[in-house]
Amino acid sequence: MQARPGQKFLDSFFFHNHRMRNIISVPFAITLICSSLLALLAIEFRFNPLWINWEQATGNATHFCELNRFGFAIVQPSNTWSNLGFLFAALIILSIAIKDHQHKDRLSVSNYLANYPGFSFLFGFSVLYMFIGSFFYHASLTRVFQKMDQVGMYFVMTALLGFVVYRMMPKITFRGKTFSTHKPIIVVAIIIDLIFNFFLWKININILFPTFVIVFFAINILSIQVVKDSRPIGKYLHLGIVSFLTGATIWIMDMFDVICIPTSVFQGHALWHLFDATAIIAIYFYFRSENYRGFFGTEEVSTVENE
């Protein structure tokens, strides 16, 4: 019997109840539709100063290389439209989460993201929130969307960190019964998100976010030592790290005008968005390729609490 197109790819990432169109085609189509609608609105209101009465963003908002076109509907076009990469990434993750949730036998799959789609929903909605914040922040350079942009970045890191912690302690035993820790970890992640949203976002992002990233990578390195022989596809992690570091380097060069043509379509900060979107997808697929049966044993599915 001939295998379906893309079957090897589907099997590699435990997409047993998925089709290629659900993973790529549908998110791409939705991204294209949203992009078209936003483009039509941008053309319609191009010369309208939509944000003139809004509180202006502070900090490094106007320090990016791209020319600030105040008085137009979109103040920083390249930095704005490049955020569509985050929309595409979010829709891919959310479409996977939906199909996983619909899979009645998902606990028989040897992958934690497939077992518990709550992590994918948390991650996908965090990326979607960051897309909305960053898109309208660069379009408007207003305070409210600047906050959404910053908070969204923390949301994404919290979702990733929560899953990494789960991998290190996927279950607990209480009174002779074994339970999955996925629900309490997701709840704690949401509480941390709320703390970031109401309090911690006020801390200088140039200090807090790099610190958060360092903590994430430190805990991830620790988890690699704890969670051994999981057999993930390492090239996706490498791609994620390289993409993030490349994007961060370009962000720094853009901020300090090392490479800067203000009126060019090609902007360093826009590339930072695209590299980050690539890193998000790569890291998600890295975790999605993990086969925990190799190190936790076949009894894992039967002992955890069903969702």
- Lowest mean pLDDT: which of 57-71, 81-95, 223-237? 223-237
Domain ranges of the chain: 13-303
Q: End-to-end distance of the chain based on CA atoms, in angstroms? A: 35
Bridge partners for 172 per DSSP = 179
pLDDT at residue 228, as a whole number: 62
Classify residue 4 by its DSSP letter: P
pLDDT at residue 48, as a whole number: 87
- Whether the pLDDT of residue 257 is over 80: the answer is yes
Q: How far apart are CA 187 and CA 45, in angstroms?
A: 41
- Whether the pLDDT of residue 304 is over 60: the answer is no
pLDDT at residue 4, as a whole number: 58
Q: What is the pLDDT of residues 13-28, one digit of tens each?
A: 888 778 787 788 899 9
Mean pLDDT of the chain, nearest integer: 87
- Whether the pLDDT of residue 273 is over 70: the answer is yes
Q: What is the pLDDT of residues 64-93, one digit of tens each?
A: 999 999 989 999 999 999 999 999 999 999
Q: What is the pLDDT of residues 153-180, one digit of tens each?
A: 999 999 999 999 998 888 888 777 888 8
Model confidence at 231, in pLDDT bands (50, 70, 90)?
low
Q: What is the pLDDT of residues 191-222, one digit of tens each?
A: 999 999 998 888 888 788 888 888 887 887 78
Give the count of alpha carbons within 13 A of 44, CB side only.
Answer: 6
Q: How far apart are CA 114 and CA 102, in angstroms?
A: 11
Model confidence at 230, in pLDDT bands (50, 70, 90)?
low
165's CB contacts (< 8 A; 6+ apart) are 185, 219, 223
Alpha helices in 199-267 (DSSP H): 205-226, 234-255
Closest-CA residue to 153 (of 207, 89, 205, 220): 205
- Whether the pLDDT of residue 131 is over 70: the answer is yes
Give the count of alpha carbons within 13 A of 232, CB side only.
Answer: 21
Under 8 Å between Cβ of 136 and 145 = yes
Model confidence at 306, in pLDDT bands (50, 70, 90)?
very low
- Whether the pLDDT of residue 129 is over 80: the answer is yes
- The residue among 13 and 33 whose pLDDT is bigger is 33
pLDDT at residue 15, as a whole number: 86
- The residue among 60 and 254 whose pLDDT is bigger is 254
- Whether the pLDDT of residue 238 is over 70: the answer is yes
- Whether the pLDDT of residue 149 is over 50: the answer is yes
- The residue among 227 and 251 whose pLDDT is bigger is 251
- Arithmetic mean of pLDDT, 123-136: 97
Which backbone phi and psi does 132 adopt, to 5 degrees?
Answer: -60, -45
3-class DSSP state of 164: helix
- Whether the pLDDT of residue 303 is over 70: the answer is no
